[in-house]
Amino acid sequence: MSTKKPDVVVTRKLPEAVEVRMMELFRARLNTDDHRFTQAELTEAVESAEVLVPTVTDRVDAAVLAKAGPKLKLIANFGTGINHIDLKAAAERGITVTNTPGVLTDDTADLTMALILATPRRITEGERLLRAGQWTGWGPTFLLGHRITGQRLGIVGMGRIGQAVARRARGFGLSVHYHNRKRVPEATEAELEAAYWEDLDQMLAHMDIISVNCPLTDATRGMLSAARLARLQRHAVIVNTARGEIIDEDALCDLLEKRLIGGAGLDVHQNAPHVNPRLLKLDNVVLTPHLGSATVAGRIAMGEKVIINIKSFVDGNAPPDRVISGVTT
């Protein structure tokens, strides 16, 4: 890569402090109106850039990467999830890919806990009713929800975020259970007072609340299928702050419409930004627009990680957050 300031294309508007620092360090082309790049715009970007800074809204697939110019050597993703980037195609072209792990843990865990509280207590249902002018006053049986203290929480994916959710859940008196690709160390289990379930199907059948906190991979895509969702107890609540594609959304709608489960709290959606119209009609669902990492501090920290990854790469060092390395030996 050139010793001059690298040409960096940023696909979405970032916090001002991050953009200013990028302009100081790099020849950065910013997205001032924050529109979503078309595939044609992405193609043009990879043809001219030395560094691409995409987000989850960009589909950096094999077709786009096939058009990459010889200068493109780094994709510094603004975000932790990288399922929107074709890693195999990037590796074949010698392109390093980085992400921003760790800095979103607390923000996403906070939102997860908010949905765990809001869904069984019917908070947004009550808020909508009040705004519509339909509240006639307090009543002994009005809008009754469910207490979460003493309930069993099943966490699907016990990584950084799953563990942060478990710590918060203990403070609310929840009994913590989890399923993970690999069992976490005994010391972690002891700290979290968490019970491990090797069999996901068995765990789903015994939980009061399910929290989905695993990454989207080939193994987890559609993991919560119609058959698995059918194992949930009739009063159970499911919360998803991971990726919408992990849950069979139509099957979930079937259960919610028939009141065969207690409710759902969804921050992510299978066809985002389009939300399933069946979900919009339901009063037993809390819906948020992918707010998991949406804090000022979190987004600035993400940007700082992107800058460090780019600067390290430009200086000839290994970026600290490599997902794949495009360097061949």
Residue 16 belongs to domain with CATH number: 3.40.50.720
* CA atoms of 284 and 299, how far apart (whole Å): 31
Co-location of 237 and 302 in the same domain: no
- Evaluate whether residue 200 is within a structural domain: yes
How many CB atoms sit inside 10 A of residue 142's CB?
Answer: 11
Co-location of 80 and 131 in the same domain: no
β-strands 322-324, 209-212: how paired? Answer: unpaired
Co-location of 271 and 131 in the same domain: yes
Co-location of 65 and 158 in the same domain: no
Q: Within 13 Å and on the Cβ side, how many CA atoms surround 101?
A: 12
The sign of the torsion formed by the CA atoms of 13, 216, 198, 203 equals positive
- Evaluate whether residue 2 is within a structural domain: no
User: What pLDDT score was predicted for residue 158?
Assistant: 98
- Evaluate whether residue 211 is within a structural domain: yes
The sign of the torsion formed by the CA atoms of 261, 263, 267, 268 equals positive
φ, ψ dihedrals at 225, nearest 5°? -80, 175
Co-location of 83 and 56 in the same domain: yes
- Evaluate whether residue 229 is within a structural domain: yes
Co-location of 118 and 221 in the same domain: yes
Co-location of 258 and 133 in the same domain: yes
User: What pLDDT score was predicted for residue 324?
Assistant: 85
- Evaluate whether residue 99 is within a structural domain: yes
User: What pLDDT score was predicted for residue 328?
Assistant: 42
State which amino acid sits at residue 285. V
Co-location of 134 and 249 in the same domain: yes
CB 316 within 8 A of CB 325: no
Co-location of 128 and 250 in the same domain: yes
Co-location of 171 and 26 in the same domain: no
- Evaluate whether residue 329 is within a structural domain: no
Co-location of 206 and 238 in the same domain: yes
| Dihedral (Cα; 141, 142, 148, 152), 10-degree rounding | 70
- Evaluate whether residue 299 is within a structural domain: yes
- Evaluate whether residue 47 is within a structural domain: yes
pLDDT values of the chain reduced to their tens digit, one per residue, 329 residues: 445 899 999 999 999 999 999 999 999 999 999 999 999 999 999 999 999 999 999 999 999 999 999 999 999 999 998 999 999 999 999 999 999 999 999 999 999 999 999 999 999 999 999 999 999 999 999 999 999 999 999 999 999 999 999 999 999 999 999 999 999 999 999 999 999 999 999 999 999 999 999 999 999 999 999 999 999 999 999 999 999 999 999 999 999 999 999 999 999 999 999 999 999 999 999 999 999 999 999 999 999 999 999 999 999 999 999 998 765 43
CB 307 within 8 A of CB 320: no
- Give me the number of domains the chain comprises: 2
* CA atoms of 153 and 176, how far apart (whole Å): 5
For 225, the domain range is 105-287
Co-location of 300 and 266 in the same domain: no
